[in-house]
Amino acid sequence: MARRARPIITLLTDFGAADPYVAAMKGTILEVCPVAEIVDISHEIPPHDILSAAFVLANAAPAFPEGTAHVVVVDPGVGTGRDILVGQYGGQHYIFPDNGVITFIKEVLPLEGLVAVRNLRSLGFEQVSHTFHGRDIMAPLAASLAMGMDPGELGPTPARYKLLDLPLPESDETGMIGRILYVDHFGNLISNIQEADIRSRFKDRSSVRVACNGQTIGAIHETYGQASLGQAVALINSMGLLEVAVCQGRAADALGAGVGAEITVCQQQYLEG
């Protein structure tokens, strides 16, 4: 693929905005690739929260053009024996720790190549701290890839790599049972139940009702504004996933629910029963 005049490198971390870590990574990138266009996906992932990072990555990265390099540093195992991997999915490069953070990307984009980073010394990586691989390995690797480095120089293809053990929606005679996977900035509760799951399970959505964390939400609506102020509402969000929100409020607080909470979809008579 042709490289852009200004290659794009994205950053996704749990570093926050108060400390020097993000700036240090950006400076390292620009030292290697001065023309890089650096885009912050987020630095507000909860500390060490690999599941949240995986979810955010998969719902942001596919929007970028081919050739983009994504650096993911949510890495509670930094300095241990875990590998750093460089993968190509859907024409984009991903530089990430082997801790499962690539799980959702694997589900939405085709894998086109994967290597474990082993040949650091031969590539000139001499000064590597034990606690900041984002600055000392991942950021300069992304910049080098943007400058045309062949990922095959970095090391071998791993025999396996880690994926998160994600809950899957379950079905029974009454309906579907899912789990909340992610709570966004607005306190919206995003589940693992896809719109396609609901359409295949229920031919008539008019009588379908949703409950979350043991509390009845009601029918599936189209928009947040179809609920009254402060009222909970279920809808299919822009990701194609069933979500529970509160109109101009926080569903997570109102329902006392978070990641892992149960969400059910069933015909009205079963919920009322």
What token pair was written down for 97? 């720790």
Decide: pTM greater than 0.85: yes
Q: What is the pLDDT of residue 271?
A: 64
Per-run averaged pLDDT (10 residues), the chain, 273 residues:
76 97 98 97 97 97 97 96 96 98 95 93 81 96 94 94 94 92 97 94 88 96 92 96 97 97 87 56
Confidence (pLDDT) at 67: 95
In order of 4, 123, 168, 176, 272, the CA distances from 265 in angstroms are 46, 53, 14, 5, 12
As a whole number of angstroms, the distance between CA 247 and CA 197 comes to 25
In terms of CATH, what superfamily is 170-272? Bacterial fluorinating enzyme like (2.40.30.90)
Q: Would you say 233 and 211 are in contact if contact means Cβ atoms under 8 Å apart?
A: no
Cβ neighbours of residue 58 under 8 Å, at least 6 residues apart?
Answer: 104, 105, 107, 108
**Quick one: how far is CA 69 from the chain centroid?**
15
pLDDT, residue 1, reads 45
* C-beta of residue 180 within 8 angstroms of C-beta of residue 52: no
Domain spans of the chain?
8-153, 170-272
> Which CATH code of 3.40.50.300, 1.10.630.10, 3.40.50.150, 3.40.50.10790 fits the domain covering 8-153?
3.40.50.10790
Identity of the amino acid at 170: E
Per-residue pLDDT at 119: 82
